[in-house]
Amino acid sequence: MAALTRALSVWSSLVLAGCCIQPTPMPTPRPNEVTSVPIPSGAPIWDGGLLFIGTAGEFGGDAFAPLDGGVRLATGPQGGGGRHVFLTYRLTGAPLVDELIVTARITKSDGRLLGSAVQPVRFGRSDAGQDAEWSQRVVLCPTPVGVSLVGDTLTVEAWAQTRENGPVGAAGADTFRPLCEGSCAADCGG
């Protein structure tokens, strides 16, 4: 009986201790969306390294495609949550990399910042150089009251850093026209 009492006592102590242990808090996630993006200064560290900016299609899973002409803006999850563009990247003239921190900013023709993102992006070897293995989502709409991107030409600037706040490996810029019809035009100030 004493053994059973001792076992119950130990068991109840463990249960009580287990209920009161505070779990280790999860680390704060890195922000995917940022409100201002300082452009780093100085020449890229890879002489001849070029960063090409493309799109990964309306759903973000397509292979690299240049930002030729117009890019259809995608809807948010389950059809809501604004409009965004999926960007992807191609790196040429640089040593093989595994992962880079890529920062992108999209501005209107008047220089107003519409959207930006910063996140790690993995690269893999391709026939054309090194292509990003996943896309980067940049939210553009809804736009602030009085700001429209419908019919405008937007500028994308991006730079890839070897680590967070580290040296810039390569940078690039390109332009595109957002394709925005129906409810998209209402979301995006049209």
Q: Any idea which of 3-12, 20-29, 55-64, 163-172 has the lowest mean pLDDT?
A: 20-29
pLDDT tens track for 45-90: 888 889 999 999 888 889 999 998 789 888 876 555 688 999 999 9
All structural domains of the chain with their residue ranges: 32-185
H, E, C per residue of the chain? CHHHHHHHHHHHHHHHHHHHCCCCCCCCCCCCECCCCCCCCCCCCCCCCEEEEEECCCCCCCCCEECCCEEECEECHHHCCCEEEEEEEEEECCCCCCEEEEEEEEECCCCCEEEEEEEEEEEEEECCEEEECCCEEEEEECCCCCCCCCCCCEEEEEEEECCCCCCEEEEEEEEEEEECCCHHHHHCCC
The predicted structure's pLDDT at residue 80? 58
Q: Give me the half-sphere count of Cα atoms (radius 13 Å) on the Cβ side of residue 63.
A: 6
pLDDT tens track for 113-140: 999 999 999 999 999 999 999 899 999 9
State yes or no: pLDDT of 21 exceeds 90.
Answer: no
**Domain spanning 32-185, CATH architecture:** Sandwich (2.60)
| b/e 17-42 (16+ beta carbons within 10 angstroms → b) | eeeeeeeeeeeeeeeeebeebeeeee
- 104 in Cβ contact with 113 (< 8 Å): no
Handedness of CA 159, 163, 166, 169 (dihedral sign): negative
125: CB partners within 8 A, 6+ apart:
96
The predicted structure's pLDDT at residue 135? 92
Q: Identify which has the larger pLDDT, 56 or 145.
A: 56
The predicted structure's pLDDT at residue 122? 95
